[in-house]
């Protein structure tokens, strides 16, 4: 993408946000959800959707190589399953298939949004040539 190069402050800031999102997801391994929050059924899946949308979207806009971009973005789906499995082991809760589903939906949404931005940027550059 023409605007985001590793030298720009925006690139570095977005990379930091992506890494911070990783840290939040990994920290979530050790957090058990109280029953009072479980009663609010949509809060936890919405959080999973938002975090994994960021994890799927950022590689699509940060990296130039299509192969690297797609591999990093699509690898967030098995990463989500791994995190859910580890969370079940660490917190002694059962595996939550709904959270795993929303992880994957978030990854797909992030990839789709990033793909649209990449296409938009590509056609903008082609129009100038």
Residue pLDDT, tens place only, 29-79: 888 777 666 667 678 889 999 999 999 999 999 988 889 899 999 999 999
User: Which tokens belong to 80?
Assistant: 């989500």
Give the global pTM.
0.86
Q: How far is CA 20 from CA 26, 51, 100, 101, 111, in A?
A: 10, 10, 20, 22, 19
Asked whether residue 3 is assigned to any structural domain, the reply reads: no
Pairwise CA distance, residues 71 & 76, whole Å = 9
Q: In this predicted structure, what is the pLDDT of residue 52?
A: 97
**Structural domain that includes position 36:** 9-128
The burial class, CB within 10 Å (0-12 / 13-18 / 19+), for 7 is exposed
| pLDDT for position 1 | 44
Residue 117 lies in a domain: yes
Name the domain count of the chain. Answer: 1
Place of tokens 């990449």: 118
What's the pLDDT at 92? 82
Residue 28 belongs to a domain: yes
Look at 3 and 18; give whichever has higher pLDDT: 18
Instruction: Give domain status of residue 96, yes or no.
Output: yes
pLDDT over 90 percentage in the chain: 55
Burial 24-55 (b: 16+ CB within 10 A, else e): ebeebeeeeeeeeeeeeeeebbeebbebbbbb
* Residue 2 resides in a domain: no
Question: Does 1 map to a domain?
Answer: no
- H/E element, 64: none
Let me know if residue 4 belongs to a domain. Answer: no
Question: What is the rounded CA–CA span in Å between residue 83 and residue 68?
Answer: 22
Beta carbons within 8 Å of 7's beta carbon, 6+ residues apart = none
Residue 22 lies in a domain: yes
């Amino acid at each position: 993408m023409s605007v985001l190069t590793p030298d720009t402050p925006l690139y570095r800031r977005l990379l930091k946000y992506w890494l911070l999102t990783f840290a939040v997801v990994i920290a979530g391994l050790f957090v058990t959800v109280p029953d009072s929050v479980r009663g609010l059924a949509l809060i936890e899946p919405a959080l999973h959707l938002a975090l994994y949308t960021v994890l799927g979207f950022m590689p699509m806009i940060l990296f130039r190589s299509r192969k690297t971009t797609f591999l990093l973005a699509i690898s967030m789906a098995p990463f989500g399953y791994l995190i859910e499995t580890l969370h079940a082991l660490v917190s002694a809760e059962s595996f939550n298939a709904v959270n795993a589903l929303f992880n994957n939906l978030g990854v797909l949404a992030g990839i789709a949004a990033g793909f649209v931005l990449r296409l938009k940027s590509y056609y903008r550059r082609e129009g100038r040539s």
